[in-house]
Structure 1
């Protein structure tokens, strides 16, 4: 019987929880304060983690620069909090799905409104 919940998935969820808490409480960079973590994927060897984020301000280069600058601090704090043998390198990737969803919702609302007029 295959495992329903792989170890890498559990590690990814724990990394997401820990990073969200660290960004909220520990990171002092104002560029990073308005970020929301939407997901984390970890490679099978646990050496790398893609951290997907979004922001109300959209994808700004300053936000990515702030996250990359804080990556070393965040990784060291993860190492203390999670007690993993290998703490993954953090790679930040902008997640545009929230913006796409809002745009599609707006288009649907416009289509429904125009149908009601006709």
Structure 2
């Protein structure tokens, strides 16, 4: 069940972390094509799961997550400065692969749509 307060805090953290990635973090491992997709804050406000999407190779994605994980202390300090909360959530960066999965499904659908009905019937029999 989603709680309105944690949703609001998650949205504020999302805006703040997006700003930090674009303007403050200077780590060369962090890709320029990085975006914050979603932030889930635990109900007790101790942890913030920050889902990141990186447009690039698998290596760039791993490097970006490594760079963000190393900068987690700085990110937490900035969250604490900008949001007045009793507890500052610990940021946990995770790769969001929903965009890649969506593109994969889209390609599969396009492939099926290109086949004739006989080809589709042959594939389902196998």
Short-chain TM bin: 0.7 to 0.9
Structure 1 CA distance, aligned partners of 2:99 and 2:10?
20
Equivalences for residues 5-16 of structure 1 within 5 A: 6-16=4-14
CA RMSD of aligned residues (A): 1.9
> In the TM superposition, what whole-angstrom CA distance separates every residue of 1:56-101 from its partner, at most 9, and x where no partner exists?
1254332221010111111111111112221100111111111000
**Which residue of the partner structure matches residue 107 of structure 2?**
106
Structure 2 CA distance, aligned partners of 1:24 and 1:15?
14
Q: Using structure 1 for the length normalisation, give the TM-score.
A: 0.87
**Which residue of the partner structure matches residue 62 of structure 1?**
63
What is the number of residues matched between the two proteins? 114
1:47 aligns with 2:22: no
